[in-house]
């Protein structure tokens, strides 16, 4: 293998790793932003929707807010 082939292989590997690093960073930022949105929706569920009920549950996957009184669902609301 010549020196040019080795340098070309290193250059290619470096570009691939830079692209992977950038993609990883974008995914981490996306997950953080989505997590903050989910936390904000849960706060809205607790403070605005289910304020006068005994308990609440916010289902993040379906974006539903459930309000409970005496272990019974009294109110459910889509928060999306």
**Domain definitions of the chain by residue range:** 3-78
- 0.95 exceeded by the pTM? no
- Mind listing the pLDDT tens digit for each residue in 4-50? 776 778 899 999 999 999 999 999 999 999 999 999 999 999 999 99
- Mind listing the pLDDT tens digit for each residue in 50-77? 999 999 999 988 999 999 999 999 999 9
DSSP string, the chain: --HHHHHHHHHHHHHHHHHHHHHHHHHHHHHHHHHHHHHHHHHHIIIIISTTSSEEEEETTTTEEEEEETTEEEEEEE--
């Amino acid at each position: 293998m010549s020196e040019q082939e080795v340098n070309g292989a290193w250059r290619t590997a470096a570009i691939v790793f830079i692209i992977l690093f950038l993609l990883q960073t974008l995914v981490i930022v996306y997950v953080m932003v989505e997590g903050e949105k989910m936390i904000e929706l849960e706060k809205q569920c607790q403070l605005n929707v289910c304020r006068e009920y005994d308990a609440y549950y916010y289902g993040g996957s379906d974006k539903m807010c459930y309000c409970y009184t005496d272990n019974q669902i009294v109110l459910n609301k889509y928060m999306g």
